[in-house]
Chain A
Amino acid sequence: MRNVSTRGPVVPITPESVARQPFGDGSVALIREKRANPAVTVLGYLRAGAVYDPPGREGLALFTASMLTRGTAAYASQDLALVLDSLGASLNVRADLEGVTVSARCLAEDTERVLDLVAEVMQRPTFPAEEVEKQRARIITGIREGRLDTRVTAEKTFRALAYPPEHPHHRTPEGDEETVGAITREDLIEYHRRLYRANGLILTVVGEVTAPRIVDQLGALWNGRRAGGPIAAIVPPNAGPASSIQRRVVEIPGKSQADIVLGVPGFNRMSEDFYAGMMADLILGRLGLMGRLGATLRDKEGLAYYVYSQAQAGFLAGPWAVRAGVNPKNVDRTVEGIVREIRGLQREPVRNGELPDAQNYVIGSLALRLETDAGVAQALLEIEVFGLGLDYLLRYPGLIRGVTPEAIGAAASRYWNLSGYTVAMAVPA
C-alpha cells in the first residue's frame, strides 16, 4: 500500500516549501529540498546575455560564458574537467540573448564540492590565451556550419528582416565570423568584469539538500564580493509589424528539404497580452499534434513533418513565429496554409472546445513540468527572474482560467498583421 506521507505534492513550489535567501551583495538563492533521489540540480541565471554585446563584438556574451569552465584561478581547463568528470557531475555555463545560465548536476554527496566549483567558474575565470583560441575556432566552425544549415539560415534571415538593425533580436546571439574573429582576450576579461557581478545572480538548488547548510555555504563563497555599478538598461527600438509582407529566400546547395520561418515581433513576458498570447499560440500551433497548423498542414494535407508556432517572450518581445520543414515544391502551399490558419485564429479564436482544452492542458500539465528536479529548478528560476512571487503557481490556474476567447482573438489580431509579416526560407539550391 502507498505510504501517503511520502507522496509528492501537486504544487512543489509554494512560499512555505521554498527557502528564499539573499546572498552575496544583492543575489538571491532559492532552495527546494526534495528527498526522493540522492541527487542535486543547480540552476542559476544572470542578466549578462548578448543584448550587452558591444557593436562589432557580436558573439561576446556567448564566447565569454563558454570560457568560464576553460580555466580558473584554481584549475586549468583540463584539471577542472577531470574533477567534474570524476564526480560524475556536470557544470555548464551558457549565454543566450538576454541572460547567462549556469547549470550543474551532481550526486547529493558532492553538493558542497560542486557549489564551490560553480562559484569558482563564475568568479575567477582566467581566460587562458590558448583556450581562448581553441574556443574561438569551435565557435567559428559552428557559425560556418550554421550558414549551411537550412533551419539556422531561415531563422537568421527571418530575424534580420523582421527586426531593425539596432534591435537585439535582429541577429541570433552567436555573432558572425568577423565579429567573433575580432574579439580579444581583453574583451572577454572586461565583459566578465562588467557583467558577472555579485548582484543579480539568481541561484536555485533543488534536491537532497538541507537549506540552511546551502545558505551558509553560499554566504561563505559569495559574501564580501561587491556589487558593481549600474548597467544601463537596454531600450530596444520599436519593432512593430512591417509595412508590407517581407519575403526572402536563401538557396543552399546539397539539401533536400526547405525550412520556413514566418512571423512577426510578438510580446514580452510582462505584457498584458502574455497569457492570452500564449493560449493563442497553443491553439495555433502547439496543442495536440502542433495545434491547428499540425491538424491541417501535417495531418490533413501531409505537407510537413514539423510545423509549429512559438511565441518567445522574455524581457524583450521576441518573435511570434511559425516554423516548418517541407519539400521545396510545397513551400508556397505551406505559406498559404500558415497564413490561412492565422487568419482563422483571428476570425474564430476558439472552436470545438479548444479553450477549455488548452486551459486544462496548461494547468494539468504543471504536475508533469514539476516532476523532476530540473523542472522545479526551471520553474523557480522563471518565478524569480520575472518577479512572479513564490505563490505564483498557486495563482496560476486562475490566471489561465481568466483568459477569454475575446482576449485570444485580440492578441492574435494585435500582433499578426497579415499585411505586414515576414517570411524567410532556406531552400535547396
Chain B
Amino acid sequence: MEPTIRSVLSNGLVVLLREVHAAPVATFWAWYRVGSRNEVPGITGISHWVEHMLFKGTPTLGKGEFSRLVNRHGGSWNGFTWKDFTAYFETLPAEHIGLGIRIESDRMTHSLFDPEEVESERTVIISEREGAENNPEYALYEEVEAAAYRVHTYRHAVIGYKSDLLAMTRDDLIRHYRTYYTPNNAVLVAVGDFDSQALLARVREAFEPIPPGPKPPPVRSVEPPQEGERRVMVRRPGGAVPQLQMAFHAPAATDPDFFPCLVLDGVLSGFKGPGVFGGEAMGVRSSRLYRALVERQLTVDAGSSFRPTLDPTLFEIGAALRPGVPPERVEAAVLAELQRLCEEPVGAEELDKVHKQARAQWVYAADGVSGQAVLLGSSEIVADSEYLARFLDRLTAVTPEAVQRVAAKVFAEVNRTVGWYIPEPARVPEAVVHA
C-alpha cells in the first residue's frame, strides 16, 4: 500500500492522507472516538442516533442537502456507528473532494437537532431495530454478548435497547454530540487522487478554526475475569433451525496476544483481512470448523470472528444446525476442535496457508480508496500507527507455540459463554395467508 502522511492540527485533530492515483477518485472520512462503548444504561443507542441526526442538516446546508450535493457531483456517502467509533464519508470524483471537507467541517459543530426531526428519527431507528429483531440469529447475538460481558459497555448492542430508544430526549442527544464531536476527539482520513500537501492546506483552513473541546470522559468499566461457563438460551418461533454461538473473552488490538488470536481465527474459518470489519473470508471450506461441522453434515454453515477493538473483545463462533442434528453433538464437535488447538501445535502447512491468505487479503484491501480509508481510520482509533505498518510482519512472526498458548488461554472452559437459539416448534405453524 502507498505511504500515509499523518499530521496533528493545533486543535488536536489527527489527519491521515494517502495518495492513490490508480483511478480519478478520492474519499474523505471523519472518524469520531465515540460508539456504543461510550454509552451507559438509559442512553444505549445514543451514538447511532446522533449519527442519524448528522444527516439532518446545519444552518448552511439544510436537511437532504449533504446527500444531494454529493450525488450531484457523482459521489456516494454514508455514515455508520460501531462499538469504538462513529464514521462519516463522501467518496467522489477526485476534483470534488473539497465537498467532503466542506460537509464534515460543517457538521462537526453545526448540526441541527430540530425537535421534529429528533422524533421522526426515533421511529426510523426503532424500525431499524425491529428489522434486526426479525432475525433469530441477531436475537441470540444480543443475548450472548450481554451474558459474556457483565461490566463492560460492549455488552449492549450498537442499536441500543428499545426502552432507551423510546425514552431518550433531544437534550440527551445534544449533550452526547457536544461531548464527543470535537476536533481533539476525531480523525480525518483522505485517500485518493490528490496532492497531499495541497489537500492538507485545505483541511487546515476548514478545520483548524474549530476550537478543541474538553477531553471526553474515559470509559471506566473494566470487564473482570470470567470464572465459569455461562449459558443463554433463546426460544421463540421465526427460525427454521437451531443456532449455536460461543463467545470467549479475547485480547484487544494492542495486546501482544492479538496476532496469535488472528491466526487462530484464520485456522478455524479462514483469514478475513486486517480491518475492523474484515474482508471477504478466504479459505473457509478447507478450514477446521467447516471440515468438522459442515463437511460432516452437522451444520449448514460454520464460522468464527475475531476483530480488532479498543478494549478486550470476544472471539466468537457460530453455526446453524442441519435439521434433525442434536444440538449437543454440534457443541461437542466445536469444543473438540478448540481442544485440539489447545493440545497440538498448528502445522507448518496450515500456518503457511493462513499467511498466504493474509498476504492476499492485504493486496485486495488496496483495491479501492474507501476500503483503505476504513483501514486507516479504524486502526488509528482501535490500535496505533504500528498496527498497519507492521501488520504482515507481526502476523507471520506468530509461532505455532504462541498459537497453542493463546488457544489454551482463550478457549478455556471458564472463559466461555454458550448461546443456543432453539426454534419453538409448537408455535411455528405454516405461514397464514390471507388477501
Given A257-B134, A299-B63, A368-B93, check contact A250 B431 (CB 8 Å): yes
Whether the Cβ atoms of B76 and A365 lie closer than 8 Å is yes
* Cβ–Cβ < 8 Å partners of B195 in chain A: 1-2
Contact residue range for chain B? Answer: 35 or more
Whether the Cβ atoms of B64 and A295 lie closer than 8 Å is yes
Whether the Cβ atoms of A361 and B22 lie closer than 8 Å is no
* Cβ–Cβ < 8 Å partners of B126 in chain A: 327
B286 at the A interface (CB under 8 A): yes
Whether the Cβ atoms of B367 and A8 lie closer than 8 Å is no
| Of A144, A289, A363, the contact of B241 (CB 8 Å cutoff) | A144
* Cβ–Cβ < 8 Å partners of B363 in chain A: 37-39, 107
Given A88-B356, A302-B119, check contact A249 B433 (CB 8 Å): yes
Whether the Cβ atoms of B123 and A302 lie closer than 8 Å is yes
Whether the Cβ atoms of B21 and A252 lie closer than 8 Å is no
Whether the Cβ atoms of A302 and B121 lie closer than 8 Å is yes
* Cβ–Cβ < 8 Å partners of B353 in chain A: 85-86
Q: Pick from B208-216, B218-226, B232-240, B407-415 the stretch touching chain A.
A: B232-240
A372 at the B interface (CB under 8 A): yes
* A408 to B88 Cα, complex, angstroms: 33
> Chain A: how many interface residues by the 8 Å CB criterion?
85
A141 at the B interface (CB under 8 A): yes
- B410-435 at interface with A (beta carbon < 8 Å): 424, 427-429, 431-435
B400 at the A interface (CB under 8 A): no
Whether the Cβ atoms of A88 and B361 lie closer than 8 Å is yes
* Cβ–Cβ < 8 Å partners of A157 in chain B: 433
* Cβ–Cβ < 8 Å partners of B131 in chain A: 256-257, 305-306, 325
Whether the Cβ atoms of B431 and A39 lie closer than 8 Å is no
Whether the Cβ atoms of B357 and A368 lie closer than 8 Å is no
Whether the Cβ atoms of B133 and A257 lie closer than 8 Å is yes
* A78 to B294 Cα, complex, angstroms: 12
Q: Pick from B67-75, B104-112, B329-337 the stretch touching chain A.
A: B67-75
* Cβ–Cβ < 8 Å partners of B286 in chain A: 78, 81-82, 84-86
- A284-318 interface code vs B (CB 8 A; 1 in, 0 out): 00011100000100111111111000000000000
* Cβ–Cβ < 8 Å partners of A253 in chain B: 237-238, 427-429
| Of A85, A256, A300, A357, the contact of B133 (CB 8 Å cutoff) | A256
Whether the Cβ atoms of A148 and B280 lie closer than 8 Å is no
Whether the Cβ atoms of B237 and A368 lie closer than 8 Å is no
| Of B74, B120, B238, the contact of A364 (CB 8 Å cutoff) | B74
* Cβ–Cβ < 8 Å partners of B23 in chain A: 8, 12, 36, 367, 370-371
* Cβ–Cβ < 8 Å partners of A250 in chain B: 431-433
Whether the Cβ atoms of A288 and B71 lie closer than 8 Å is yes
A10 at the B interface (CB under 8 A): yes
B285 at the A interface (CB under 8 A): yes
* A138 to B285 Cα, complex, angstroms: 14
> Secondary structure of the B side of the interface?
mixed
* A99 to B129 Cα, complex, angstroms: 35
Whether the Cβ atoms of B435 and A248 lie closer than 8 Å is yes
| Of B75, B301, B435, the contact of A365 (CB 8 Å cutoff) | B75
* A287 to B76 Cα, complex, angstroms: 10
A281 at the B interface (CB under 8 A): no
Given A137-B322, A254-B427, A288-B68, check contact A302 B122 (CB 8 Å): yes
B130 at the A interface (CB under 8 A): yes
- A370-391 interface code vs B (CB 8 A; 1 in, 0 out): 1111100000000000000000
* Cβ–Cβ < 8 Å partners of A327 in chain B: 123, 126-127, 130
B295 at the A interface (CB under 8 A): yes
Whether the Cβ atoms of B359 and A107 lie closer than 8 Å is yes
* A317 to B284 Cα, complex, angstroms: 36
* A302 to B130 Cα, complex, angstroms: 14
- B258-285 interface code vs A (CB 8 A; 1 in, 0 out): 0000000000001100000000101111
- B330-371 at interface with A (beta carbon < 8 Å): 349, 352-353, 356-361, 363-364, 366-369
* A306 to B428 Cα, complex, angstroms: 27
Whether the Cβ atoms of B75 and A364 lie closer than 8 Å is yes
* Cβ–Cβ < 8 Å partners of A368 in chain B: 25, 74-76, 91-93
* Cβ–Cβ < 8 Å partners of B427 in chain A: 253-254
Given A37-B367, A141-B241, check contact A7 B323 (CB 8 Å): no
A321 at the B interface (CB under 8 A): no
Given A249-B434, A301-B120, A304-B127, check contact A367 B25 (CB 8 Å): yes
Closest chain B residue to A365, Cβ basis:
B74
Residue among A357, A361, A363 with max Cβ neighbours from chain B (10 Å): A361
A184 at the B interface (CB under 8 A): no
Given A8-B21, A287-B71, A301-B120, check contact A85 B270 (CB 8 Å): yes
* Cβ–Cβ < 8 Å partners of B322 in chain A: 137, 141
Whether the Cβ atoms of B241 and A85 lie closer than 8 Å is no
* A298 to B130 Cα, complex, angstroms: 15
Minimum Cβ distance to chain A for residue B392 (Å): 12
Whether the Cβ atoms of A39 and B364 lie closer than 8 Å is yes
* Cβ–Cβ < 8 Å partners of A167 in chain B: none
* Cβ–Cβ < 8 Å partners of B93 in chain A: 364, 367-368
* Cβ–Cβ < 8 Å partners of A295 in chain B: 64
* Cβ–Cβ < 8 Å partners of B92 in chain A: 368
B320 at the A interface (CB under 8 A): yes
Minimum Cβ distance to chain A for residue B242 (Å): 11
* Cβ–Cβ < 8 Å partners of B122 in chain A: 302
B128 at the A interface (CB under 8 A): yes
Closest chain B residue to A87, Cβ basis:
B356
Minimum Cβ distance to chain B for residue A73 (Å): 19
Closest chain B residue to A137, Cβ basis:
B322
| Of A8, A38, A85, the contact of B22 (CB 8 Å cutoff) | A8
A401 at the B interface (CB under 8 A): no
* A393 to B275 Cα, complex, angstroms: 33
* Cβ–Cβ < 8 Å partners of B75 in chain A: 364-365, 368
A153 at the B interface (CB under 8 A): yes
Given A7-B193, A90-B282, check contact A145 B431 (CB 8 Å): no
Whether the Cβ atoms of A361 and B74 lie closer than 8 Å is yes
Whether the Cβ atoms of A88 and B369 lie closer than 8 Å is no
Given A305-B125, A360-B73, A366-B74, check contact A300 B120 (CB 8 Å): yes
* A418 to B165 Cα, complex, angstroms: 37
B203 at the A interface (CB under 8 A): no
- A6-19 interface code vs B (CB 8 A; 1 in, 0 out): 11111010000000
- A322-353 interface code vs B (CB 8 A; 1 in, 0 out): 00011100000000000000000000000000
A171 at the B interface (CB under 8 A): no
Closest chain A residue to B270, Cβ basis:
A85
A134 at the B interface (CB under 8 A): yes
9 contacts between A and B (CB under 8 A): A9-B24, A39-B367, A107-B363, A145-B239, A253-B237, A257-B130, A303-B124, A357-B71, A367-B25
Extra 17 A-B pairs, beta carbons < 8 Å, given A251-B432, A305-B128: A1-B195, A8-B21, A8-B24, A37-B363, A78-B285, A86-B349, A88-B271, A106-B360, A134-B295, A138-B301, A141-B300, A148-B239, A254-B236, A299-B63, A302-B124, A325-B127, A429-B429
Q: Which residues of B pack against A, CB within 8 Å?
A: 19, 21-25, 55, 63-64, 67-68, 71-76, 91-94, 96, 119-131, 133-136, 193, 195, 236-241, 270-271, 280, 282-287, 291, 294-295, 297, 300-301, 320, 322-323, 349, 352-353, 356-361, 363-364, 366-369, 424, 427-429, 431-435
Q: Which residues of A pack against B, CB within 8 Å?
A: 1-3, 6-10, 12, 34, 36-39, 77-78, 81-82, 84-90, 105-107, 134, 137-138, 141-142, 144-145, 147-150, 153, 157, 247-257, 287-289, 295, 298-306, 325-327, 356-357, 360-361, 363-368, 370-374, 426, 429
